[in-house]
Structures are given as structure tokens and as C-alpha cells.
């Protein structure tokens, strides 16, 4: 039924006068209906050129349209939730959602209702700006609730993740091939172009020019989405600036007299600042400013402007290059090096008795990244030094007047991408690349199954028959030699049947499975003789996908069938599958205390047969997880860097060292004596050692680990070339001295699983 705004409001809530007419003055019925009509009056979120936002006077008189609500995190000025809006209750330009729709909602607490009313119209003009850019997150609705304090909410498209969590948790591995680096740099290029748009090309609905300064640009405020634009690759990501309309804006005083002058509005002053935030220590600087802000943020004067955002952008790009080369571990070390120099703060500048200067740790990090790129592939030195040198000379300038603008940064990133496209890998260095697309992980247990080409060091090398644009993130092997590789979107399965083309030394995947759009990214995959278990993050929830390998080896698997899918309550950070069993383990954050994590153990029941190609999907019965146990770990999820379970009751953890010490801490885990309680405490054994890095080494400390199958203990690989055997005895706090075996061939670095 088509109704005007006024007639729509008159339907409900009804006052007593109207109800007396409807119910013929039956006071009892009038009272009952009046008190309970809120159950039938559900708020509709509306967005469009003529909409001014949804306003609710009190939640006593209506109900909100969420079918689900999940807290995602807290920022400086608001709390972010994922909400699923009921069918028909999200209307955009007159069209209602035909199905329940997941959105992001950010809630702000208003300081003063009077001041908010004065600026609310201006703020909505900005949020409804006719100027659009692919890298600027668009507001798709507002909600104002007249509570005390007054609450204001913004609705936005639901992101896969924010950049900080993506780099540090969801995708912590380095990007050692050019294709993956190009994709990341293209995302950064788009971000810089979006920031330039924010600074110079924003207009209100009445076509008044305005300038937006973000003033708090950092990885946690950059949201990640699948790039679905025409011509994009399936693994391309688009980075979007969020919270732009809630920062500082410069615009004319009014639309009728545009030349009267400009006014500077800081919308954040209207909202109460959060006393708590999910911002990690890596984004927290000294009191009052953040890690990614420039020195002018410390000035008592309002001296921040567009050039302040450019400084922040440069910091993000510097961190991105660190991640490309060294992964999340490198970012932590980069933060720590600035902290040591600055005196326990992590800004990219330091204070001296003569004023401020750029932290020397920045240039030291850049020199290291350039040297690593040159060592891996001399052709990569050019694009890396081209961009990092530009940051030092044109962006990291303490005087704003010497800083370039965002467009110049975007142009430089564009040229860097073009230069990377010319970094063809020399034939000599191809075998030395650690990229998992070019080299099969070199486990000696695979050599008996596969007869590949041998290099001079006796290690067998195989090329993977995977399309070039696909950037692999990791792999896992089973005892019988089957291998599962994964990228953001794909799973690739290799078995003994993959070795048929021995003359070309190429392994062809005999099964592959692609995530559908909207299901997020693969975060981990594990394979045993019987199962493939893989987990995702992003999309509408975290999921576990389960396949069964028929007969121990899937000679002709069919990944095209619908897999068994289980929704998980929390995102999976580490995953493992016990060989010769149906037991799966995973580590997730403790939702009640983020200083701890939870080790989950469950039993897989009735999974789908991968090779059952004739079985109709309609007869498919989903797998499910049974007998779930929870075991409390005393480390936050970010410190659990490896999970290696030998049996359903024993295994090993590798814990990130505290204070960036150069040690490896291995914990044995015993679950044997624990009963079926709600949350149990495992027993731990512990062994910590300090591996000596090879001369001139620049590799990360911990590489990978694996347990022995015929005795207690674990093998740890450090610095990519050193192998340590740690023998635990009865899971007590004892261990034999590690037996060191250094693989000294430069071409024999061990890849991460």
C-alpha cells in the first residue's frame, strides 16, 4: 500500500481517542491495545533522496526490526553491530528488501540533544552527498532514538573485515609472489584515490562543495569488501574509508550565500567518546593521539587538515609493504622497533629537544624491505624502493606544507603497480621462490609417493597446475600424501593421481571447490585420510565446510557438490584435524575475556562423500559437529600462532613470545584426564628456546611445526631453515634438549603449512 510519510505515521501508534472510536469506548480493550501495540509497530529503516532518516521517540512505543544483533567491535566514538533486518523493513528509494538483509550498524551516544539538533540537518546532507566513490563507504540509512542519552545510528554495507584484523589475524602470511602484491597495491591505490576524492570532490545534495578531513585514518577504519566491479578478479579486494562523514568538514555557511565564508564542523564533538575500544596496541600511540596520526595532532591549535590524512595514509602504506614481505610478525616487529625508539609509543615520528622528527625505525624498516625484495628477486627492488623512497621524501614530512596531496600518493601507487607487472621471475631464482604457487611444500614424506624433478640439493620440486592469478595462502598434507591448498576463494585437492604427468613435473589438482560470493574467505583447511575440513571468515557468519574422502584417497573427487556447512559461533583462528579419526580442533577468541582463548574439540558426524558424484544433492544430509568440548587457554587468540594435535587428547601449541623476545615457546597440551564439563582447563608442559638465526638472516622467527607419529615430541622449524626436535616426556614440564639440524641450502627454505 502506498502511503505518504504522514499517513504512514498515523497507522500506528494510535492514541486513546482513536482507539475509543475503534473499540466503541471499551476501556479494557483500549488499555490492552494501547499498552501492547508496540509489538505490532516495527521501525522501518528508510534511505533515499527525500528521506530525512528514521526517528523514534521512545522504544516503549515500538520495536526494532532486527532478527539478529551481534556486537562486532568498539571504536573511538561508537559501537559497531551486525544486524539482520527483517524482510520489508529496509527501504531504499522506495523498494523494500525482499529477504532478511545483513547490515552494519554503528551507534553513537549524543552529548547534547540541543547541539545535535542544530547540526543534524547538515550532517545528513553530508551523508546523503550526491558525490560517490567506490572507495568511500556510503551511509545507507540513519536511526535516531530518543533515549537518554540520545542515540544516533548509521547503517552501512556489512564488510568482510577491517584492514587491521585482516592483516594481523585473517591473512597473516607474507605475499611472496608478484600477483598477490599487485592485488594489495591496487587496493591501496584505490584507497588513496578515495581519500583524494574526499578532500577535493565532495558535494552536498544542493551541489555545495565541501572538504572532508578524516582525521583518524588507520587500518581499523578501513573496511574490506569483495571487489565485484566488472573486470575485477575473483580474489580482488576493495578497501573503503569509513567514518568520513563523522569527522571534520569544511563547507559554506549556507546555500544561498556561498561566498559569505566557510565554517569548519567537527561532528565528533557531538558524541561521547568511548571509554573502551577494541583498538589493538599496534594502533595506539601516546595519550590523546593514535599511532597513525602526525605530529600536528599534538598541537593545541586546530592545525590538522587534508595533509594530516596524507601522513596517516603513508603510515598505512608503510605497514602494508611490511606485511607483503614479512606478514603479521613483521608488523609486530615494526611497531616494537618504533616503540623502543620513541619511549613506549608507536607513532611514526619522535619528539626530541629540537622538536619532532621522523622515527629512524621507519627508514631502517624500509631499507630492510628493499634488501629482502632484492634478495628474492632483483627486479622487485625497483618498485619497492620506488614507493618507500617516495614515502620518506614526500609523505613523511613534519611540515604540512612539504607534504604531497592524496592524488600524488595515488599516482605513485599506480606507477608502482605498473612497475610490479614487469617483475618477471628470472629462471635461476624460480626454484628458490617460497611462493606456494610455484613450489610444492618440501616434505620428505611426499618423496616416496611422487617422483619429481630433483635439484642439486636432492629436494624434489614440483610446479602446481593452478591458474596464475590465484594467490595461495596455505596448504596441508595427510599421512598418505594428499594435499589441500587454499586461496581466498578456492580449495585445490592433490592426491597420488596428480602425479601422472611426471615428464613436465607438474601437479594437476584433481578436485577444486570455489566459495560462492558472500561467503567470505577461506581462513584454513586441513586434510586427513578421511576428511577435508575448511573454515571461512567474513560473509554473514563464520562457517566450517566438511568433505569426506572416500576410500582414504579421493581419486576422482567432486567438489561441485554442495558441501556440508556448519555455522560457528566464533571465527576460527587456528584449525587442526586429527589423523585417523573424526576429531577436529580449533581455537577461537573467548567472547567474555579477550585476554584468553578457547580450544574447541568436536567430533564430525555423517559428512558428505566428496566422490559420490551420482548422489543427488536433494538426498544430501549435512554433517554436524557432536560432543563439543571447550578448553580454556590462558593466552589471547593473537598469541596462539600454531596448533598441532596428535591425538584427540594430546597435542602442541606454539605461543607468540612476549615483548618481542627472540624465543620460541612450545606448549604440550594434555586433555586425557578431563571430563565433559562446560569449560575445562588443560594441563600444559612447556619448553622455550632461542634459535640462533643464520648469518645475515632476515626471515621471521617461527616458520612451522609438526608432531611425531611414533613418539612424543614435536619438530619446530625456525628462520625457515633450522629444524629443532623437542621431545616431551609424559606431558610434564620437561623436555630433552633440542636437536638442531640446519638446512643450509639457500634453495631449501621450508614453507609454512
% of the chain exceeding 90 in pLDDT: 22
pLDDT of residue 470: 78
Three-state DSSP class for residue 364: helix
Q: What is the largest CA-CA distance in the chain?
A: 98
Q: Do residue 264 and residue 399 come from a single domain? A: yes
**Which alpha helices (H) appear in 201-255, and where do they start and end?**
none
Residues 638 and 575: their CA atoms lie apart, in Å, by 14
Is residue 149 reached through a cis peptide bond, with omega within 30 degrees of 0 on the bond before it? Answer: yes
**What average pLDDT does range 594-602 have in this prediction?**
87
Alpha carbon of residue 650 to chain centroid = 30
515 neighbors 476 (Cβ within 8 angstroms): no
600 neighbors 587 (Cβ within 8 angstroms): yes
Residue 347 confidence (pLDDT) above 60: yes
Q: Do residue 455 and residue 416 come from a single domain? A: no
**What average pLDDT does range 324-334 have in this prediction?**
92
Q: Do residue 151 and residue 124 come from a single domain? A: yes
Cβ-in-10-Å burial (0-12, 13-18, 19+) of 280 comes to middle
Q: Exposure string (b/e) for 565-575, b if CB count within 10 Å is 16 or more? A: ebebebbbbbb
Residues 441 and 198: their CA atoms lie apart, in Å, by 45
User: Greater confidence, 688 or 388?
Assistant: 388
Write out pLDDT tens, residues 285-321. 443 458 999 999 888 776 888 999 999 999 999 999 9
pLDDT of residue 611: 38
216 neighbors 226 (Cβ within 8 angstroms): no
Helix (H), strand (E), coil (C) string for 523-586: EEEEECCCEEEEEEECCCCCEEEEEECHHHCCCCCCCCCCCEEEECCCCCCEEEECCCCCEEEE
Q: Do residue 628 and residue 697 come from a single domain? A: no
pLDDT of residue 285: 45
Residue 431 confidence (pLDDT) above 50: no
Per-residue confidence band for 159, with pLDDT thresholds at 50, 70 and 90: very high
Pick the range with the lowest mean pLDDT from 81-95, 276-290, 332-346: 276-290
CATH of the domain at 219: 1.10.510.10
Instruction: Return the C-alpha cell found at 120.
Output: 543534524
pLDDT of residue 5: 43
Q: Do residue 246 and residue 333 come from a single domain? A: yes
Per-residue confidence band for 562, with pLDDT thresholds at 50, 70 and 90: low
Write out pLDDT tens, residues 433-483. 443 333 333 333 333 444 445 555 556 677 788 876 677 888 898 887 888
Whose cell is 614424506? That residue is 445
- Report yes or no on 31 lying in a domain: no
Residues 153 and 145: their CA atoms lie apart, in Å, by 8
Of 112-121, 164-173, 402-411, 695-704, the range with the highest mean pLDDT is 402-411
Domain that holds residue 292: 161-269+283-420
- Report yes or no on 643 lying in a domain: no
Per-residue confidence band for 753, with pLDDT thresholds at 50, 70 and 90: very low
CA distances from 604 to 174, 320, 536 (A): 32, 38, 17
Which residues lie below 8 Å from residue 133, measured CB to CB, with a gap of 6+? 193, 194, 197, 198, 201
Q: Do residue 201 and residue 121 come from a single domain? A: no
Per-residue confidence band for 679, with pLDDT thresholds at 50, 70 and 90: low
pLDDT of residue 716: 82
Per-residue confidence band for 365, with pLDDT thresholds at 50, 70 and 90: very high
Residue 427 confidence (pLDDT) above 90: no
Residue 741 confidence (pLDDT) above 50: no
Choose the final residue of a domain: 157, 178, 193: 157
User: Greater confidence, 436 or 139?
Assistant: 139
Binding-site residues for ATP sit at 93
Number of domains, the chain: 4
Three-state DSSP class for residue 86: coil
Q: Could you say which DSSP state residue 117 is in? A: H
Per-residue confidence band for 410, with pLDDT thresholds at 50, 70 and 90: very high
Q: Do residue 446 and residue 391 come from a single domain? A: no
**What average pLDDT does range 336-357 have in this prediction?**
88
Angle between helices 406-420 and 178-200 (to 10 degrees): 160
Instruction: Return the C-alpha cell found at 363.
Output: 627508514
Residue 217 confidence (pLDDT) above 50: yes
The dihedrals phi and psi of 659, each to the nearest 5 degrees, come to: 60, 30
**Which alpha helices (H) appear in 16-112, and where do they start and end?**
16-22, 27-36
Is residue 518 reached through a cis peptide bond, with omega within 30 degrees of 0 on the bond before it? Answer: no
Residue 349 confidence (pLDDT) above 60: yes
Q: Do residue 336 and residue 194 come from a single domain? A: yes
- Report yes or no on 483 lying in a domain: yes
Query: How high is the mean pLDDT of the chain?
Result: 77
Pick the range with the lowest mean pLDDT from 59-73, 95-109, 251-265, 274-288: 274-288
pLDDT of residue 554: 42
Residues 748 and 432: their CA atoms lie apart, in Å, by 7
Q: Do residue 453 and residue 565 come from a single domain? A: yes
pLDDT of residue 565: 83
User: Greater confidence, 740 or 153?
Assistant: 153
Residues 611 and 553: their CA atoms lie apart, in Å, by 10
Per-residue confidence band for 127, with pLDDT thresholds at 50, 70 and 90: low
pLDDT of residue 733: 41
CA distances from 744 to 683, 695, 722, 747 (A): 37, 11, 8, 9
Instruction: Return the C-alpha cell found at 388.
Output: 618507500
Side by side, the strands of the sheet bearing 202-203 are: 202-203, 209-213, 248-252, 262-266
Residue 214 confidence (pLDDT) above 90: no
pLDDT of residue 19: 82
Q: Do residue 447 and residue 562 come from a single domain? A: yes
Q: Could you say which DSSP state residue 737 is in? A: P
Helix (H), strand (E), coil (C) string for 400-458: HHHCCCHHHHHHHHHHHHHHHCCCCCCHHHHCCCCCCCCCCCCCHHHCCCCCCEECCCC
pLDDT of residue 465: 81
- Report yes or no on 7 lying in a domain: no
- Report yes or no on 317 lying in a domain: yes
107 neighbors 91 (Cβ within 8 angstroms): no
pLDDT of residue 440: 36
- Report yes or no on 174 lying in a domain: yes
Torsion of CA 421, 425, 426, 428, to 10 degrees: 170
**What average pLDDT does range 524-548 have in this prediction?**
83
Write out pLDDT tens, residues 635-671. 888 889 899 898 888 889 988 877 666 788 888 888 8
pLDDT of residue 674: 53
Residues 187 and 196: their CA atoms lie apart, in Å, by 14
Pick the range with the lowest mean pLDDT from 17-26, 123-132, 367-376: 123-132
- Report yes or no on 278 lying in a domain: no
The dihedrals phi and psi of 608, each to the nearest 5 degrees, come to: -70, 140
Pick the range with the lowest mean pLDDT from 25-39, 141-155, 495-509, 690-704: 690-704
Bridge-based pairing state of the strands 54-56 and 139-145: parallel
**What average pLDDT does range 603-630 have in this prediction?**
52
Pick the range with the lowest mean pLDDT from 315-319, 410-414, 673-677: 673-677
Sign (positive/negative) of CA torsion 667, 668, 674, 676? positive
pLDDT of residue 219: 94
Question: Strand pairing partners for 223?
Answer: 162, 240
64 neighbors 94 (Cβ within 8 angstroms): no
Binding-site residues sit at 93
% of the chain exceeding 70 in pLDDT: 73
Three-state DSSP class for residue 133: coil
Q: Do residue 396 and residue 459 come from a single domain? A: no
User: Greater confidence, 241 or 516?
Assistant: 241
Residues 742 and 317: their CA atoms lie apart, in Å, by 35
Pick the range with the lowest mean pLDDT from 488-502, 514-528, 732-746: 732-746
Sign (positive/negative) of CA torsion 164, 168, 170, 173? positive
Whose cell is 607534504? That residue is 403
pLDDT of residue 282: 38
* Nearest to 156, CA basis, from 246, 235, 27, 275: 246
Choose the final residue of a domain: 575, 600, 633: 633
CATH of the domain at 74: 3.30.200.20
**What average pLDDT does range 80-92 have in this prediction?**
91
- Report yes or no on 323 lying in a domain: yes
Residue 92 confidence (pLDDT) above 70: yes
pLDDT of residue 449: 41
Choose the final residue of a domain: 572, 603, 633: 633
**What average pLDDT does range 739-743 have in this prediction?**
45
Whose cell is 581419486? That residue is 555
Three-state DSSP class for residue 646: strand
**What average pLDDT does range 178-196 have in this prediction?**
93
Residues 505 and 462: their CA atoms lie apart, in Å, by 5
Q: Do residue 599 and residue 626 come from a single domain? A: yes
Three-state DSSP class for residue 296: helix
Amino acid at each position: 500500500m502506498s502511503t505518504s510519510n504522514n499517513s504512514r505515521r498515523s497507522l500506528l501508534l494510535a492514541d486513546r481517542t482513536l482507539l475509543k472510536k475503534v473499540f466503541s469506548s471499551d476501556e479494557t480493550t483500549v488499555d490492552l491495545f494501547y499498552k501492547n501495540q508496540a509489538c505490532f509497530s516495527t521501525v522501518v529503516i528508510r534511505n533515499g533522496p527525500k528521506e530525512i532518516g528514521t526517528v523514534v521517540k521512545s522504544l516503549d512505543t515500538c520495536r526494532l526490526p532486527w532478527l539478529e544483533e551481534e556486537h562486532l567491535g568498539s571504536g573511538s566514538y561508537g559501537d559497531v553491530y551486525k544486524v539482520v533486518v527483517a524482510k520489508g523493513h529496509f527501504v531504499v528509494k522506495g523498494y523494500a528488501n525482499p529477504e532478511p538483509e545483513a547490515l552494519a550498524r554503528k551507534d553513537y551516544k549524543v552529548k547534547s540533544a540541543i547541539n545535535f539538533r542544530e547540526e543534524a540537518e547538515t550532517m545528513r546532507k553530508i551523508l546523503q552527498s550526491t558525490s560517490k566513490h567506490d572507495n568511500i563507504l556510503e551511509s545507507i540509512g540513519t536511526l535516531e532514538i530518543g533515549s537518554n542519552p540520545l542515540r544516533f545510528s548509521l547503517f552501512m554495507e556489512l564488510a568482510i573485515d577491517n584492514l587491521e584484523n585482516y592483516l594481523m589475524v585473517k591473512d597473516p602470511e607474507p605475499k611472496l609472489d608478484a600477483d598477490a602484491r599487485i592485488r594489495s597495491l591496487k587496493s591501496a591505490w584505490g584507497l588513496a584515490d578515495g581519500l583524494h576524492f574526499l578532500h577535493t570532490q565532495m558535494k552536498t545534495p544542493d551541489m555545495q562543495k565541501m572538504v572532508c578531513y578524516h582525521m583518524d585514518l588507520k587500518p581499523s577504519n578501513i573496511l574490506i569488501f569483495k571487489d565485484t566491479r566488472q573486470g575485477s578478479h575473483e580474489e580482488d579486494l576493495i578497501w573503503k574509508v569509513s567514518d568520513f562523514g563523522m569527522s571534520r568538514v569544511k563547507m559554506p555557511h549556507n546555500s544561498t550565500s556561498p561566498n559569505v565564508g566557510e565554517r569548519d564542523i567537527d561532528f565528533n564533538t557531538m558524541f561521547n567518546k568511548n571509554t573502551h575500544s577494541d583498538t589493538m596496541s599496534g594502533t595506539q600511540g601516546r595519550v590523546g593521539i593514535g599511532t597513525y596520526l602526525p605530529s600536528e595532532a599534538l598541537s593545541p591549535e586546530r592545525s590538522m587538515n587534508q595533509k594530516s590524512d596524507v601522513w596517516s595514509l603513508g603510515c598505512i602504506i608503510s605497514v602494508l609493504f611490511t606485511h607483503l614481505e614479512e606478514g603479521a610478525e613483521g608488523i609486530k616487529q615494526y611497531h616494537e622497533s618504533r616503540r623502543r625508539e620513541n619511549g613506549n609509543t608507536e607513532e611514526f615520528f619522535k619528539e626530541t629537544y629540537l622538536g619532532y622528527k621522523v622515527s629512524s625505525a621507519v627508514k631502517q624498516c624500509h631499507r630492510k624491505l628493499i634488501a629482502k625484495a632484492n634478495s628474492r628477486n632483483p627486479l622487485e627492488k625497483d618498485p619497492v624502493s620506488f614507493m618507500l623512497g617516495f614515502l620518506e621524501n614526500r609523505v613523511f614530512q613534519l611540515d604540512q606544507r612539504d607534504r604531497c596531496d592524496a592524488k600524488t600518493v595515488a599516482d605513485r601507487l599506480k606507477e608502482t603497480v605498473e612497475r610490479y607487472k614487469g617483475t618477471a621471475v628470472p629462471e635461476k631464482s624460480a626454484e628458490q621462490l617460497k611462493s606456494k604457487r610455484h613450489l610444492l611444500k618440501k616434505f620428505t614424506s611426499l618423496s616416496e609417493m611422487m617422483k619429481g624433478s630433483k635439484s642439486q640439493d636432492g629436494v624434489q620440486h614440483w610446479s602446481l597446475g593452478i591458474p596464475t592469478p590465484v594467490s595461495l595462502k596455505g596448504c596441508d598434507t595427510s599421512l598418505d600424501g594428499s594435499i589441500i591448498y587454499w586461496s581466498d576463494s578456492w580449495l585445490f585437492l592433490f592426491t597420488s593421481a596428480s602425479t601422472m604427468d611426471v615428464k613436465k613435473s607438474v601437479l594437476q589438482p584433481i578436485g577444486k571447490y570455489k566459495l560462492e560470493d558472500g561467503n567470505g574467505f577461506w581462513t584454513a583447511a586441513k586434510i586427513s585420510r578421511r576428511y577435508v575440513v575448511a573454515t571461512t571468515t567474513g560473509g554473514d557468519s563464520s562457517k566450517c565446510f566438511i568433505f569426506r574422502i572416500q576410500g582414504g584417497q579421493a581419486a576422482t573427487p567432486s567438489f561441485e557438490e554442495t558441501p556440508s556447512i556448519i555455522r560457528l559461533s566464533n571465527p576460527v583462528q587456528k584449525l587442526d584435524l586429527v589423523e585417523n579419526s573424526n576429531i577436529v580442533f580449533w581455537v577461537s577468541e573467548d567472547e567474555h575475556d579477550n585476554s584468553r582463548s578457547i580450544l574447541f574439540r568436536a567430533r564430525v558426524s555423517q559428512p558428505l562423500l566428496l566422490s559420490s558424484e551420482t548422489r543427488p544433492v536433494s538426498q544430501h544430509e549435512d554433517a554436524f559437529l557432536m560432543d563439543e568440548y571447550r578448553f580454556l587457554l590462558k593466552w589471547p587468540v593473537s598469541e596462539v600462532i600454531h596448533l598441532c594435535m596428535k591425538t584427540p587428547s594430546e597435542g602442541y601449541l606454539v605461543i607468540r613470545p612476549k615483548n618481542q623476545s627472540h624465543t620460541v615457546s612450545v606448549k604440550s597440551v594434555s586433555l586425557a584426564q578431563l571430563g565433559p564439563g562446560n569449560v575445562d582447563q588443560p594441563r600444559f608442559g612447556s619448553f622455550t628456546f632461542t634459535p640462533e638465526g643464520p648469518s645475515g638472516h632476515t626471515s621471521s622467527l617461527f616458520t612451522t611445526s609438526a608432531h611425531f607419529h611414533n613418539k612424543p615430541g614435536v619438530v619446530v622449524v625456525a628462520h625457515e631453515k633450522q629444524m629443532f626436535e623437542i621431545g616431551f616426556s609424559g606431558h610434564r614440564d620437561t623436555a630433552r634438549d633440542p636437536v638442531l639440524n640446519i638446512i643450509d641450502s639457500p634453495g631449501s627454505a621450508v614453507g609454512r603449512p
